[in-house]
Structure 1
């Protein structure tokens, strides 16, 4: 199948796990009514973006009410759901983890955020995920009926090596559920998604929480879809909203034939190597 209708669920995340799950459920149901077959939720869609809340909201994979709810919805509607990310607890560690469910409601892939958001922008944003979270160490490319998709989370998009390795593994769409803020979002969000799409001649999708001005962390929103030519084909603003975007994966072959960047790479001189 070379055409995919992707739903970008830019939901307002609040300090109430059950309400967040209910909101995600409502948006998934709406996406299904619009004939979406691949539905994407934001980073930390069940949890406020805050180190103390990561601890409070953390769930173990095999006993997660959040994941159980998403699994049931994927199975009921027979759709793929990329469950943004949640704080996942394993033993004493907490990870920022994204889960991909297939049409049967089964987890077919998971990605633990590889690059932790530890920044201190003068006059802007200070945040240190490593105070609470543990980084993941695996590249994750999942096989779907639409072909392979590459997984990343938010800050991962700043590292072109991750995208290059995922594309080398066959990914045709790169997904980065994210939550850029009001400092980094206006400066870099669109630029990074266009860059990763253009560098690798693939589709690149980012889904963020809506801006909640009552929260301690202000998400930039602006969920986005970019095509292999580097063009923005869909972008939201700050508010809670659901948008669908139809993509034709044949565009990848067309762009790569017209400008054969991947074919013209000097692999005899340099290459990205996965350890």
Structure 2
């Protein structure tokens, strides 16, 4: 049994130069490996600025693009698993917000395309026009799980974390770790970042991790930061500030087992009643 996993969450400062962004990510992956990380995670849009006006410009193919090539090389060189946040992916005249997952042999073992696109009905905190990802992105339609040691990991991206049904599917698939590369803004971050991550950990009695870009005061879009790792009791294990940081934690599956045994909510669910409620 391999119930312990050392995870690194890289809160990366992202600029407008794609090559420099990826190079910086690789430097931080190396730093995480030196600290003993077995699984490294990156934030949403780690190779590009976040914004509807950037997705087309920065989009590339998976796995044939430059970012994928470099991720494959570094995962193989270091012998490490990487959940590569997300990048704008070009595919058959569409652009997706896509996370790629790499194994220690440099193989692309899974991809996840953001399912719930963020169409915000309120003006962005800086006073700009409302933000609609659907103006430039296509939604994904599939769940993604993969295994590292005895951990089964489910991946969502940013806005996905707001949907408890989405996370519950992963719990039903056997996941004990949920990973959400994200980029909440200053308003939604202050109000909802912590409560959303802790809620998903509590609802599903698992570890939940939300990874943000570092805040770049020169960017058009200001990320909230505060990357966090939450345990199955919904306790914050580690939390970053707003600056660039490599956040580390040791995850222990025995804690998942303990919580699920002591409070067996999934055995107590009354789905025969829930399912009769009119949709």
* Coarse TM-score class (shorter-chain normalised): over 0.9
The aligned counterpart of 2:4 is 3
The 2-side partners of 1:83 and 1:213 are apart by: 23
Classify the secondary structure of the residue corresponding to 2:98: strand
- 1:140 Cα shift? 1.2
Matched, 1:168 2:179: no
The 1-side partners of 2:104 and 2:124 are apart by: 45
The 1-side partners of 2:189 and 2:47 are apart by: 21
Counterpart contact for 2:185–2:223, Cα < 8 Å: yes
- 1:122 Cα shift? 4.9
The 1-side partners of 2:54 and 2:88 are apart by: 9
The aligned counterpart of 1:195 is 199
> 1:87-166 maps to which residues of 2 (within 5 A)?
87-122=88-123, 124=125, 126-166=130-170
The aligned counterpart of 1:181 is 185
The aligned counterpart of 1:245 is 249
- 1:65 Cα shift? 0.6
Classify the secondary structure of the residue corresponding to 2:68: helix
Deviations 1:20-45 (A, max 9, x none): 01100100000000010000000000
Deviations 1:99-143 (A, max 9, x none): 111111111111100000100325736311111000001111113
* Bigger Cα displacement from structure 2, 98-107 vs 190-199: 98-107
The TM-score normalised by the length of structure 2 is 0.95
How large is the RMSD of aligned CA atoms in angstroms? 1.2
**Structure 1 residues without counterparts, runs of 5 or longer:** none
The 2-side partners of 1:211 and 1:229 are apart by: 28
> 1:22-101 maps to which residues of 2 (within 5 A)?
22-101=23-102
- 1:63 Cα shift? 2.0
The 2-side partners of 1:175 and 1:266 are apart by: 27
The TM-score normalised by the length of structure 1 is 0.96
